Amino acid sequence: MPSPNAESTAFRSALEVIRAVEPRVADAIGAELADQRESLKLIASENYASPATLLAMGNWFSDKYAEGTVGRRFYAGCQNVDTVEALAAEHAKELFGAAHAYVQPHSGIDANLVAFWAVLADRVEAPALKKAQVRQVNDLTEQDWFTLRRELGNQRMLGMSLDAGGHLTHGFRPNISGKMFDQRSYGTDPVTGLVDYDKVAEAAREFKPMILVAGYSAYPRKVNFRIMREIADSVGATFMVDMAHFAGLVAGKVFTGDFDPVPHAHIVTTTTHKSLRGPRGGMVLCGPELADQVDRGCPMVLGGPLPHVMAAKAVALAEARRPDFAGYAQRVVDNAQALAEGLLRRGAKLVTGGTDNHLVLIDVAGYGLTGRQAEQALLDSGIVTNRNSVPQDPNGAWYTSGIRIGTPALTTRGLGVAEMDATAELIHTVLGRTTPGSNTDGTPSKAKYVLDPALADKVSRQATDLLSAFPLYPSITLA
């Protein structure tokens, strides 16, 4: 274990060096730590990385180019990069029980693109791939994309709809995945909000996708990956799971059996932050049949790997292999369920009526608000959340009708079920006392809202008081 002052010394020294060059950057870094210490961070996709993980990103690995893979680089002098990349992959394979791990993706989107192209490269013939490289991507029209998809095997993707909790990278038109694939979505039951596997199977039989995608960014329940694999097999689709949000629950063995995607999927993607509590980055897991294609992620999709981030991934994955991580993962779910129960007791409307995982989705229409109004009112009150669509959202993806909240970060700080009930009270108080505002012409506004500043200040102080017993990075003092 480090000495009591080692972490403080490390970060204070780093800020001193930065301040000598650009003091405003040093000030912003210090202000960010102060803000995070004082706010109830409830964004489901955020967490707090350990000091060791953070420090692993600030070093000389940042200066290295390392295109290629371990032992097969296009640059000399990568022996130390090989060491950290191999360690990160080893930890990932052991942690998730995967045959192969590719730890180079810079983000979850990059990981998904690597997976998509690996599947395509495995399925289509080389001449068609060459045609895909004739023109610059930005010059292609919608008709060009249609023609290209047809030449590449008329590839199709079936994934969860955005308003049901899916992700932009699962084939939606604004994202490159929506250009690459002819996409169709499966939703959730309009009454329960749950995935209807019979409807998914029906859509798969009708659409015959090349790739069936499971995974989500705002679905508060487990997914049965065994059933989804059976659906994929029935139509000859490659089954891909994006577990970016719940990877920590898989690593911590909270999700096992039918709910662990790794034994069931052909290919699995994830981020390394969120519930996994590592650095911002991505990763791909797969079996041996796709390993060679996945390892071509650079230069197929990625630019040069980020060795300093791979070093941090190795540290974080090593931390996740420790026995205490399983306890952390279980507490994340326990806290999310306690938060959901606290909100329900106070009359909040939750999508699916609760949660099985790390996140809760509040339908704020019950408070007479849009998601944008609720998000900002909560932020004014020291509670950091993000607005999110709900199924069949009448307000669309910008204003939304929902607020997504999650417990990974507060659980890292040590808050438990009692504090979750107190948090539910603060959220309900703010939303219940916020009213919609009006535009200058008197028409109703979807963005403006009215909240008594005195109440916002009171709740903010209560949030700070709640957090005072659970200091963030208690070993680090910057003053």
Catalytic, 274? Answer yes
- Using an 8 Å Cβ cutoff, are 58 and 287 in contact? no
In whole angstroms, what separates CA 291 from the centre of its chain? 23
Catalytic, 425? Answer no
- CA 312-318-320 angle, 5° bins: 105
3-state secondary structure of 453: helix
CA dist 467 and 427 (Å) reads: 15
- Using an 8 Å Cβ cutoff, are 156 and 140 in contact? no
CA dist 94 and 178 (Å) reads: 33
Q: Specify the residue for token string 């490659």.
A: 238
- Helical spans, DSSP H, in 307-452: 307-320, 323-345, 371-380, 396-399, 408-413, 417-433
- Point out the catalytic residue in the list 85, 110, 242, 319: 242
- Point out the catalytic residue in the list 188, 238, 270, 271: 271
CA dist 247 and 269 (Å) reads: 9
- Point out the catalytic residue in the list 19, 65, 197, 334: 65
CA dist 73 and 222 (Å) reads: 40
| Cis, bond preceding 299 (omega within 30 deg of 0) | yes
3-state secondary structure of 404: strand
- Point out the catalytic residue in the list 221, 274, 277, 413: 274
- Using an 8 Å Cβ cutoff, are 189 and 164 in contact? no
What tokens does 16 get? 């001193």
Q: Report which residue type is found at 400.
A: T
CA atoms within 13 A on the CB side of 326: 9
Query: Which candidate, 157, 176, 173, 152, places its Cα nearest to that of 214?
Result: 157
Query: Which candidate, 51, 55, 53, 76, places its Cα nearest to that of 66?
Result: 76
- Point out the catalytic residue in the list 67, 90, 196, 421: 67
Backbone angles phi, psi at 207, to 5 degrees: -90, -30
Dihedral sign (CA 92, 98, 103, 107): negative
Written as one string, the DSSP assignment of 239-255 is EEEE-TTTHHHHHTTSS
Catalytic, 271? Answer yes
- Point out the catalytic residue in the list 280, 387, 413, 446: 280
What tokens does 55 get? 């420090």
Query: Which candidate, 292, 286, 290, places its Cα nearest to that of 263?
Result: 286
Catalytic, 142? Answer no
Residues with catalytic roles: 65, 67, 242, 271, 274, 280
